[in-house]
Amino acid sequence: MSYVLAFDLGASSGRAMLGRIHEGKIELEELHRFSNDPVQINQRLYWDILRLFHEIKQSLLKAKHRGIKLDSIAIDSWAVDFGLLDEAGELLANPFHYRDLQNNDVFEEVVAKLGAERIYERTGIQLLSFNSLYQLVAMKKQNHSALKEAKQLLMIPSLLRYFLTGQKFNEFTNATTTQLYNPLADNWDNHLLEQIGLDPSIFAEVVQPGTVVGKLQPSLCEELGIDSVPVIATAEHDTASAVAAVPAQSENFAYLSSGTWSLMGTVIDQPNLTEQARHHNFTNEGGVDHTFRFLKNIMGLWIIQQCKLAWEKQGENHSFAELVEMAAVAQPFTTFIDVDDDLFLGVGNMPAQIDLYCKRTGQTPPVSIGNYARSIFEGLAFKYRYTLETMEQLTGDDYAGLHIVGGGIQNRLLCQWTANAIGRPVWAGPIEGSAIGNMLVQWISSGQLQNISQARQLVHQSFGVETYEPVQSEIWDEAYTKFQQKILLRDANI
């Protein structure tokens, strides 16, 4: 039997997943899993890109030792980060991590210079301080040597794919996240690049998901003792892959990709560049089959992840499952937080940041670990409702429920609370959404699947979904009203 191999790289870990279609269903197997830890040096935060490539090679060796025949390989990862190559094709520096604080100083400066409206109408991307646009301007202001010498810029999965193949191409779904790509022109926005003093020639050509960009290069095959196989540019932004794997039974659906980040949106044929969409900071990111993902970034499980690390430093060691249990029995609706507040973006003592947030909003901070966890999960559920209802206003569509994919569905309490908060069903599954979507694009590219509709049907019959029906709707409606009064209306008046 032959397989496709999907490398799915997240902000905290990576995995190599084997997949095949057997008797009308997708069969998955985890081949290799590895950590992806940011590296802090003094006050700067980096990705260990060479370690990631080492783990990719270890995965290929594992497949070889098991005698597995691979039809193709593809990589997806997080968005916005990139590597810079010199004239000889050598990596000039370790890529910065999007949570590095270098961007904060230039964000407002760039927006003031170019204008928020203008940036949005040219890119359709929500204004976020860690977007590639602001990272690059920060490097330029610092007179960073890597940017001065750069002859090519490749997004993270494209960079790793270049290490495999020697071919330099960026990919559509990830390129659009940079806030430097013009979706109407379907290319890099040279005018915008020139305005901020960046050389348009360093931005590698963009290809669509499903493009075969090369094969494993001979030197790598010789090093590992493996045969060369095609390498495909899948939907290389992991959310784009996750959306491709949503097992929706209709074309009009709302989704939430749940993990370190939460990304809620829908699929549209043309970008929504209206002033209303910009005002609500919705984004238009590329999708499979020339579509766009009209979505909103929500902070996600990052906050509880950082709290867990802070508590461990204090000697309080609790698994995520234990934190969920503690949240379930804690007093409800005692602390309301906006999970997207800038206080929660960076690395650090997250419980202290929640305390500071409570002080700023006139609330009493949580009194126990369970109360902290509960306030986070409730805050996520309420922000999901607000975002879903806002999206309905912007698109003019009504959504019968919410599809949730990704590792976050393992938090069954949050799935149930989300259903309670939005007052409609939540359909959860599959967990490995990004890896599955990565594979689907590979199978469409090879002709094993005809199109994305057939691919979604295959996911549905392979994995199904778990349905969460809303309960205690009146109680959650009342609490949401308090959330609006304490948080949303307050923030609107600031």
Half-sphere exposure of 52 (CA within 13 A, CB side): 30
CATH fold, domain 2-237, is Nucleotidyltransferase; domain 5 (3.30.420)
CATH class of 248-429+464-494: alpha beta
Residue 170 phi, psi dihedral angles, 5° rounding: -90, 170
Rounded CA gap, 491 and 241, in Å?
33
The pLDDT of residue 492 is 53
Domain boundaries, given as residue ranges, for the chain: 2-237, 248-429+464-494
How far apart are the C-alpha atoms of 155 and 43, rounded to whole Å? 23
Catalytically annotated residues? 238
Tell me, what's the pLDDT at 282? Answer: 97
Are 157 and 77 spatial neighbours (Cβ–Cβ below 8 Å)? yes
Extract the residue ranges of the chain whose pLDDT is less than 70. Answer: 489-494
Q: Are domains 2-237 and 248-429+464-494 of this chain identical in fold? A: yes
Residue 429 DSSP code: -
Residue 493 has a pLDDT of 47
Residue 490: per-residue pLDDT: 58
What would the two tokens of residue 403 be?
Answer: 């599809």
- Contact call for residues 103 and 133 (beta carbons, < 8 A): no
pLDDT of residue 487: 83
Predicted local confidence at residue 347, as pLDDT: 87
